[in-house]
Structure 1
């Protein structure tokens, strides 16, 4: 099996823009395979090895979720406590009479928060997590009513962990997750601080990423070797777990997050024949990663890469899991996409505003025959692109306009509107963003409350 994996990795690295790939498999109670291919650092011609540490992006979330469950087991917080109880006085912004999201709902991406990510590239300082919560921690729907993936939720959990433990959240994770499991390579932070050599990160165009930081470290900034990450995964298959059985079950008790996937506490969960597939993907600037756990087989496998784009990760993982799990299909893994439907917002003109931390921005929206134009703060109308609807939103459209806030002007030149019609009013999120990795760096994705009423003048 692993001989064919080596051949596959060599082939995919030779035929696909890439830097390196590291693969590990653990079964029972120990690693059974670790291999690395390609270059951990292109400029230095330094090869990747099984001992190279990679930034693992959103696989950080099940690690943070494990730490939160440990704090719950210790009686420091309750999973069904209002999360604001543990935020040292911080309150989540509300524009409607929404209830209080619980710790569990934040872990499940069902708190009502909007999609979010922010990255600050050296030497620029990151947006402080409390500041990010005050600016972007808005509730867009009633907590518990729907799934919306939000990195900022795990930044909120960082604050909760620090409040209840008295430790920096990364230090708590190290002391109570990494060290007891013997994961010596693992670290949470913008730059790697550990005994292994690290993999440098590369954009899709081959440019080298500088060090970057974020307000949501607990969502995005863990580092690990593939072997250590596979052993973390194995700890969620009943092997040497730091958690009790009830917490383990709670983490894998998933609510729907798409047509094929559910989301528990930090884990995507799906079912493939007789097997439960527990997994998390990671994808951001200079990395694409995946960790898959099959509890019934006491099996964990991970694939780590150090260049933007999921092609190498997905190809290697598909080959590997096809060998390890009979009947495996890629549809059992994240990310799941939102299915499109016809936009049904009636034709007409809507006026209102976008609420930003820098002030209210007037917005005029014209809907005609399935097409949409937006005028921001009295500017000339701009036609919407990719106008559609999804299961979650009655209207989704993108516009080549920029919100006039310092955060948006930094690296988010476009606007996405995600709106629902409620009692004759359009409400939802206006999101500042960047189109992929233009100029070689991922930009930010910042959600703001948007509200529009029928224009009756």
Structure 2
């Protein structure tokens, strides 16, 4: 039987990885053929998860926003190749470039847990770090811009537009959009990696992260949403520019290439959410796996089991848009000094690169920290350390620091990042990118 071993796989994945619950669904030829749930949607209330339980979708939301952008283009409300409004140091990015994460915006997230005003001004970080269409960088900022473009083009709030043009036409009754689930269905409470219940989470990039649904509706969306679009728009959506040896990124979809069946997918991860949506077009089926834990381990274990049964030859490499793979640092031993540009002014930074793949980092007037270093195909020096950037935004919830720098003659040029790397202490925070230039001493 196709589903032999599924119960055992899901139950052991939850137990082994400390995940409260999972809901999964398989749709085939437009019908849900499997819907199961395991574990507790709310641990304290002893409320079990069921197939009717709604989960946060995190970045699967990008597939919703991308579909809405395509609909607006089909309706003549938006030009996929027209410039986005704004003042940029390069030609303005287009919706097509933003959809593919090639608009020039950096990686970014900012989560907070107070319903009041966003404590971080997202527009401080709304700057291009490269010319559009020159490279891939996964960016919530780019999808935030798409959400703003949609609201301007349609005259509707994005949540209302998604309901009118996507959720209702496809009969996806559980789908919703917002910082908290606005419907009446039972909701899975999100949990940290060590089992603490998250409060409601707010962000400055809802168009990238604020979707909600059941696993059954996610699987049906994956399989049926293309029906809403013109054939040429569907072809453009799945025309994925390669970003590594296994996958490319289209319009809100990761698309595999090379050996094995074609897989179209999108994952989602944030505080208390690990979700995955998968379509296998040659089998005319789709899979959704939703969990209420920050850790992706249980989700990935269950996905691996389902792919082994339903799409032999597929693997995690067909789902993962990883672009940075570490290599040894080739920079010579030496000292580099310079500044980080922040909204609060320039912050001094000193890095001494050692011959043993280590570096000594001193930020502003703080203590020196020694940390391992690496490089990648894009960066000549990558390092992280438990140091806090001394800015108002970083002090909110960014206790960690990283640099990604490339060599340009006698300089290292790139970025310094204030972030919170996980939620074993407190809640997931922000990821804030700042320009950085260091000079050889």
Q: TM-score range by the shorter chain?
A: over 0.9
Question: Are positions 1:415 and 2:404 aligned together?
Answer: no
Task: Select between 348-357 and 280-289 the one with higher mean Cα deviation.
Answer: 348-357
Partner of 2:118: 126
In structure 1, C-alpha distance between the alignment counterparts of 2:331 and 2:80, rounded to whole Å: 38
Q: CA offset at residue 127 of structure 1?
A: 4.8
Q: Is 1:272–1:332's contact at 8 Å kept on the other side of the alignment?
A: no
SS of the equivalent of 1:449 reads strand
1:51 paired residue number: 52
Matches of 2:388 and 2:297, distance apart in 1: 31
Q: Does 1:215 align with 2:204?
A: yes
| CA distance in 1: counterparts of 2:260 and 2:424, whole angstroms | 43
8 Å CA contact 1:138, 1:448 repeated in 2:
no
Task: Give the Å deviation of 1:233.
Answer: 0.2
Give the gaps of 5 or more residues in structure 1: none
- SS of corresponding position for 1:390: coil
Question: CA RMSD, aligned part only?
Answer: 1.9
CA drift of 1:155 comes to 1.2
Q: Classify 1:127/1:264 alpha carbon distance in 2 versus 1 (closer, same or farther; 3 Å).
A: farther
Residue 116 in 1 paired to residue 108 in 2? yes
Greater Cα shift, 326-335 or 389-398: 326-335
Q: Give CA deviations for 1:235-272 in whole Å, capped at 9, x if unaligned.
A: 25x5xx21111111111111122221211111111036
Which of 221, 237, 243 is the aligned partner of 1:257? 243
Structure 1 range deviating more: 49-58 or 4-13: 4-13
Aligned counterpart in structure 1 of residue 143 of structure 2, from 136, 151, 154: 154
Equivalent residue, structure 2, for 1:324: 310
Q: SS of the counterpart of 1:439?
A: coil
Cα displacement string for residues 408-451 of structure 1 (whole angstroms, at most 9, x for unaligned residues): 00110111001112344322111101231131411211111112
Quick check: 1:165 aligned with 2:154?
yes
Instruction: Give 1:3 shift.
Output: 4.4
Q: 2:420 aligns with which of 434, 445, 453?
A: 434
TM-score (norm 1): 0.91
Equivalent pair of 1:53/1:198 in contact (CA under 8 Å): yes
Distance in structure 2 (CA, Å) of the matches to 1:176 and 1:158: 14
Q: 1:123 to 1:167 in 2, by over 3 A?
A: closer
| Number of equivalent positions | 439
Of the candidates 72, 87, 94, which is equivalent to residue 91 of structure 1? 87
Q: Which residue is equivalent to 1:136?
A: 125
Partner Cα separation in structure 2 for residue 359 and residue 76 of structure 1: 41
Q: CA deviation at 1:273?
A: 4.1
Q: Deviations over 1:170-190 (max 9, x none)?
A: 221121111111111111111
After the TM superposition, list the runs of 4 or more consecutive aligned residues in structure 1 that deviate by more than 6 angstroms. Answer: none
Report deviation, 1:335. Answer: 5.0
State the secondary structure of the residue aligned to 1:198: coil
Q: Evaluate the alpha carbon distance shift between residue 16 and residue 382 of structure 1 in structure 2; reply closer, same or farther with a 3 A threshold.
A: closer
Paired position in structure 2 for 1:21: 22
SS in 1 for 2:104: coil
- Any gaps of 5 or more consecutive residues in structure 2? none
Kindly indicate whether the alpha-carbon contact (under 8 Å) linking 2:189 and 2:292 is maintained by their aligned counterparts in 1.
yes
TM-score using structure 2 length: 0.94
The answer to whether the aligner puts 1:364 opposite 2:365 as a matched pair is no
